[in-house]
Structure 1
Amino acid sequence: MIFQNENSYEIKEKIEQSQVAILPLGAVEAHGPHLPLGTDNYLAEQLAERVAGKTGALVLPTLPYGQVWSLKNFPGSITVSNQSLISLLCDIGVSLHHQGFQVFVMLNGHLGNAVAIKEAARQLYETVPNLRVLYLFYPGVKKITDELRETPSAHASYFHACEIETSYMLYLAEQYVDMTKAVSDIPDIPMSADVTPTPWEEFTATAVLGDATLATKEKGKAIIEVALANMVKLIEEAKRSLGK
């Protein structure tokens, strides 16, 4: 159910029935020549709608701007600070709790948001302890991803516009993908990039971290369905814990 499409006269009862609000979080940033700037927004939105369909949750309007410091110098990228994100997420969480929601799910499509989301969840834990807060980013997909990928990951923690993320887009938002422009760019990311601020233009000119030409809808479906099942499970567990 799409929250912004509801009206004020009926929403109170629907909040009481649902109890769960899902906030898709994304970013506007470079994703190579074959994917749009809003890739993370499209992925978060599509995931949120699918999860809502299985849990009865209400999907909030997407928060489309994220912390993209690493890619801020690429054309089209728009970044906001962690501090801004934390403040906004905390304000939203408190307001949702005031409206009667008991579970707040921050469904993230952009890894760069992770630090702010986790800190916001901790602050909400302190300020509104009765609100269950989940922060989800493709949970439990490492095994299936390792089995399906044909090229090694360019980095141990993050992926970007590569075989994997492009496969996600082919499954969830194929209309925005131009595979005729997909490239293979597997950069040598130095160890120092994990321990010091490192703009990505220092190791990639494309913003692609892998071989996007190997992406397929089938890979995307296999991985995404695992993530969806895990997200649904976590939300249902949170709902069952209410009142305990």
Structure 2
Amino acid sequence: MDFQQENSYEVKEKIETSRVALLPIGAVEAHGPHLPLGTDNYLAERLAKRVAEETGGFVLPTMPYGQVWSLKNFPGSINVSNESLIALLVDIGVSLHHQGFRVFAMINGHLGNAVALKEAARKLAEAVPELKVLYLFYPGVKEATDRVRETPSSHSSYFHACEIETSYMLYLADEHVDMSKAITDIPTIPMMADVTPTPWEEFTESAVLGDAKLATKEKGRQIIEVAISNMVRLIKEAKGNRNV
């Protein structure tokens, strides 16, 4: 269900039936020459719609800006601070609870948001403990990712505009992918980047961390379907625990 398409006369009863709010949250940032700046937003939106179909949840309007400090100097990237993001998410969560929601699932398309989402969830757990808050970023996909990946990952945690994320886009939003512009850029990321703030332009000029040319829709399908299944299970479990 698309929350912003509802009207005030009818939405209260529908909230009482659903009790689940899904917030797609992404970012605007460089994703190489073959993917758009809004890649993380498209992924979060498409994921949220799929999850809503299986949980009966409301899909809230997408939060399109995220914490992109590492890529803020690349053309097109728009960065907001963790503090701003946390404050906004907490306000949204409190308001959702006031409206009658009991499960608030943030469907995250951008790894850089992870710290802010976790902190917002902690603050909401204290402010409105009746609201179950989930921060979901492709949960439980490691095995599927390892199975389909043809090239080693540039980093143990990062994946960006590469074989994997481009495959996600080919599966969920292929109309926004131009594979004729896909490149191979497998940078060496220094260990120092894990222990001190390091702008990505220090190790990549493209913002691509891998071989985007190897991306396929089928690879995306195999990983994304696992993520969706896990998100649906977690949300249903949270809803059940809230007796709604």
Q: Give the structure-2-normalised TM-score.
A: 0.99
Cα distance between partner residues in 2 of 1:91 and 1:169: 31
- Give runs of aligned pairs for residues 73-112 of structure 1, distance below 5 A: 73-112=73-112
- Which residue does the alignment assign to 2:240? 240
C-alpha deviations, 1:39-60, integer Å up to 9, x for none? 0000000000000000000000
C-alpha deviations, 1:95-140, integer Å up to 9, x for none? 0000000000011000000000000000000000000000000000
The percentage of aligned residue pairs carrying the same residue is 77
Cα displacement (A) at 1:243 = 4.3
Letter of the 2:154 counterpart: A
Question: Is there any run of 5+ residues in structure 2 with no aligned partner, and where?
Answer: none
Cα distance between partner residues in 2 of 1:71 and 1:121: 25
Q: Which runs of 4+ in 1 moved over 6 A?
A: none
- Which residue does the alignment assign to 2:144? 144
Cα distance between partner residues in 2 of 1:201 and 1:193: 11
Cα displacement (A) at 1:141 = 0.2
Query: Does residue 114 of the first structure (1) align with residue 121 of the second (2)?
Result: no
Helix, strand or coil at the partner of 1:23: strand
Question: Is there any run of 5+ residues in structure 1 with no aligned partner, and where?
Answer: none
Helix, strand or coil at the partner of 2:62: coil
Letter of the 1:33 counterpart: P
Cα distance between partner residues in 1 of 2:13 and 2:52: 17
Cα distance between partner residues in 2 of 1:158 and 1:5: 35
Letter of the 2:180 counterpart: T
Q: Give the structure-1-normalised TM-score.
A: 0.99
- Which residue does the alignment assign to 1:24? 24
- Which residue does the alignment assign to 2:12? 12
- Which residue does the alignment assign to 1:198? 198
CA RMSD, Structure 1 to Structure 2 (Å): 0.8
Cα distance between partner residues in 2 of 1:242 and 1:75: 44
- Which residue does the alignment assign to 1:158? 158
- Which residue does the alignment assign to 1:124? 124
